[in-house]
Amino acid sequence: MKISIAAVFAVTTTSSCLLSSTDAYFVPTRNAISITSSSGRSSSKTPPSKSQSSSSTPTMFLEGVSKKQVKAPDTTKLGNLEVPTVGVGTISWSSDSLTELENLELQSLVNTACKSNAAFFDTAERYGSNWKTALGLGWGETEALTQKLLTRVPKQEDQSSLLRPIVATKFTPSPWRTTAQSVVDACEESCKRLGVDSLDLYQIHMPDIVQPFKNSPMFASKPKDQIYWEGMVECYNRGLVKNIGVCNYGQTLLLEAKQYLQKKNVPLASNQIAFSLVGRHNGAQETLDLCNELDIKVLAFFPFAMGLLTGKYTSEEMTSNVLAQDTLTSLVRSKKTPLELRDLSKYVTGDVKSGIPDGGVRPLLQAMEEIAQNRKKTVAQVALNYIIWKGAIPIPGARTSAQVRDNVGAMGWRLSLQEVNQLETAADKLGFGFEGAGFKRTSEKFVGYGVEKWTLD
């Protein structure tokens, strides 16, 4: 069955292909080095990994393998942590029950991530089921669900070969949180929900942009970013957190935060920003370059540009202007809102009013499909590996174990410099960048009374 592309647009966060028999698996020894080209775009100088060789499938990721076949995990340093090079985003997680935190599909996902050495979960106190979050409710629900799922992970035969699961969470700046103690209080609540004495990574969710009275001289207040940094320092000194991170910080604010924390002898471990092959504009590439220079690990959200770069939507389908049956099925399961589908369709077909030429992301997908075919990988795995190559940790959202297995296929190998340049050239020729869809944006947030924005400058 075919359906017009103009009518609907389907995106998911995974492809169905599993790992190929040509995967080489190693532990990378270097980070990507970025240089700025004459056009102002940053491009990569050398790949971050050892040379690739033909070897067997990364057997750590398959069930029923012997202990002798297990190879070293693909990891990177984040502060004082050793973490997988691909994370798991939990923003779409929710319980199947209205009264209890239960989700068998998510349990399978967590089990798969843990036994695949891919157990790096990124959550937040603000995350909860979709309808509760929309109503301003559900605070802490996903943290509690994550803890419950992790406690139920079965023990493996060779537990010593597996990495310890890592959980990162976030503090949400709010108008009513006006003191450093409010950060400490929130941190302690997150510790309780996650069942730990100390958080692996505690991040400030965004700059202090929620200012409902900023235009009122009588009630306007100054941004509380420094107050929150002070609270983070207190959490670190009390041992409530092992590492401190920030989110959506541009170069200026990032340097201010680092300098403040440095004076307190507290390191800044990470900065989470939107970054992908179609998300290197608006200061994202420059922020990544600065973070690499300062040894601050970037966590990249929207690594698939909300599904545009997963490969579920092929360049052939875009050319023929139709969607195949399996893509229609993906639409039903994608849980995208009508507003999100409307905005995403513009990136697929093009939209002159939005500055997107006819054909949308098709030229980039063609380049990704060529590399994926040559390497016997999926398009989604190419998208994630590109981000790893650039020195960042992609945090793709996942709701199923199949999605995690496909994401794991992005680990244990690296694109070549030639392939990275090929991808960036194709992306640059598009002439536009991904800004988000619906209420999910790369540099702004709907906060009830309106929309607040931040910049990566």
For residue 220, the model assigns a pLDDT of 64
**Cβ-contact 209, 452 below 8 angstroms:** yes
Which tokens sit at 30? 């270097």
For residue 291, the model assigns a pLDDT of 98
Which letter does DSSP use for residue 252 in this model?
H
Strand partners, 437: 440
For residue 328, the model assigns a pLDDT of 39
Angle at alpha carbon of residue 27, lines to 32 and 420, rounded to 5°:
35
Domains and CATH numbers, the chain: 75-311+364-415+440-453 (3.20.20.100)
For residue 315, the model assigns a pLDDT of 58
For residue 313, the model assigns a pLDDT of 67
For residue 96, the model assigns a pLDDT of 61
Digit-coded pLDDT (tens) for 442-453: 988 877 777 788
Residue ranges in the chain modelled with pLDDT below 70 = 1-71, 95-102, 129-138, 213, 215-216, 218-220, 313-334
What pTM did the predictor assign? 0.82
Which tokens sit at 268? 């800044």
Rounded to an integer, what distance in angstroms lies between the CA atom of residue 278 and that of residue 435? 9
CA of 114: how far to CAs of 66, 111, 153, 192, 301, in Å?
17, 5, 8, 22, 21
Grouping H, G, I as helix, E, B as strand and the rest as coil, residue 133 is helix
| Phi-psi map region of 102: left, alpha, beta (phi>0 left; psi -120 to 50 alpha) | beta
CA of 30: how far to CAs of 17, 349, 391, 420, in Å?
29, 39, 9, 16
